Amino acid sequence: MKPKIAISIGDPNGIGPEIALKAHKKISSICTPFYFTGMDLLKEAARRLRLEVPKEIVLNPPFAAPSIEPGKVTAEAGAYSFASFKEAVDSVRSKKTEAVVTLPVNKEAWKLAGLAFKGHTEFLRELFQKDAIMVLGCSKLYVALFTEHIPLKDVPKAIQKDKLVKFLLDLYKETAAKRIGVLGLNPHAGDHGVLGDEEKIIEEAIREANGSLSEKGDFTIFEGPLVPDIAFTPRARESYSYLVAMYHDQGLAPLKALYFDESINISLNLPIIRTSVDHGTAFDIAYTPESEVSLKSYIEAVSTAAKLALERSKQW
């Protein structure tokens, strides 16, 4: 039995509908996909892209779609992408589907639509009242973000020992990783206080998290603070399957330079399974038939969601 996967369509003005149409045959071999969009949108997208809508495609059209405006940020598109996402999540909560995979949304469009959430993870965090953990990467390397979509100037004060300890323990509980590298915040990981002292907090959090995993306090799952500019080198990547970054670009800039096409986004520490592509709406190439849109991240996201859904069903 292939798992039933809910697919939220993403921003209709971006590349989400194109990815869904082009990858349908491939992901149908992995799962039974349920697309949370309407035939009106898919037909318009297919016409613009000179594609065909698969005859066997299963849709959940609870609302009318806005007209497609390729590459434009609009409130209507933001509202539609959020509604698609929320309906997909609700289908997992009601056990009609077993996991949700999200295609890319535009944060500015969500804001124009009057939504209070900066992205998918923030909504899930509030919906479930859980400290969802945003992890991006692939089997070669995963990066967990301690802080996500906040201004860089707010990151230092967000690094608090108790919060970081809980984050580290939740990450370990969800992954059972054998070694997790924790990046420092400052250049050279502070150089023993010469370039900043936030590493003292990070070091204390690592010590406490390791201590809580063993009565003797010598169970060293977490290591660091690591010097950020060498944490992604080949030798370091041999040592750690997971890294914890203190802020968004610290972790994702090098990760995407290494594994952009194959990386995905996974929301951990939630009662449902959610994966996503790790790229944006690509407004610059949306609905240009001559452009090459990569399907790798989406297919990997679906494959991972299906695998996690099957593992969870065996546990039950």
Query: Tens digits of per-residue pLDDT, 207-257?
Result: 999 999 886 555 789 999 999 999 999 988 899 999 999 999 999 999 999
Per residue in 279-302, pLDDT (tens digit) is: 999 999 999 988 889 999 999 999
Mean pLDDT of 63-78: 94
The CATH topology of domain 132-266 is Isopropylmalate Dehydrogenase (3.40.718)
User: What's residue 216's pLDDT?
Assistant: 55
Q: CATH assignment of 1-130+270-316?
A: 3.40.718.10
Residue 153 banded pLDDT, cuts 50, 70, 90: very high
Percent of the chain with pLDDT over 90: 86
- Cβ atoms < 10 Å from Cβ of 234: 7
CATH 3.40.718.10 region(s) of the chain? 1-130+270-316, 132-266
Of 27, 35, 179, 172, the closest CA to residue 103 belongs to 35
Helices (H), 143-220: 155-158, 161-175, 198-212
Q: For 272, phi and psi rounded to 5 degrees?
A: -120, 165
